[in-house]
Amino acid sequence: MTDQFDDRPRRPAPATDLEEGDTDMSNSAHDNYEDLTDCGLSPEFEQELLELQRECTFMWTNKQGEAFGVIMSYMEHDGVFWLTAAERRARISAIRRFPRASLCITSVGTEMGTGKTITYKGDCTVHSSREIKDWFYPRFAKRIRPDDELAASTFQKFLDSPDRVIIELRPDYKLGFDSALMWARSPEAANK
């Protein structure tokens, strides 16, 4: 799996009782699904997924310290993710309390089919300025309703309410997965 921003130290390989020159075929990286580090989503598929998909699962930590998430529409712009919600939504006060969050995007429902995902985590900022709203709403409405100018314009009008805010998530970590690479290990198990 691709983890572009991850600089955590890797665990060393477990010690074995093999003699020098022996090969342990029972623990090969390609005879099971335990280690999927080489099944990351390519940059090309990542970009395609970001362009095709319009929804993500947005996740944060509530005041009890529990993880929680909802499906939200998003817009990616220059590597930053933008979402919107009413100020009164619990996720807004949670982000203000602890600004770390994550979002996961999947290829389900797109022409890419299933099995491709990308997750990002990072710091969030909640915006309520007119300047950000004027920049965000037209672009977001056109992204969500790209083929219908009237629908996009109406959507934009309804979004632009007094107590709505914009969430900016700047990722510092990502983790991608492409199941096609996993299935290549066991073609007889893949659903053709």
Q: What is the pTM of this model?
A: 0.79
AA identity, residue 85: A
pLDDT at site 105: 97
pLDDT at site 1: 43
pLDDT in tens, the chain (192 residues): 444 444 433 333 333 343 444 333 334 556 644 555 666 788 999 999 999 999 999 999 999 999 999 999 999 999 999 999 999 999 999 999 999 999 999 999 999 888 899 999 999 999 999 999 999 999 999 999 999 999 999 999 999 999 999 999 999 999 988 777 666 766 565 665
> At 132, is the secondary structure helix, strand, or coil?
helix
Cβ-contact 97, 131 below 8 angstroms: no
Spatial CA neighbour of 136 closest among 56, 88, 89, 77: 77
Cβ-contact 81, 164 below 8 angstroms: no
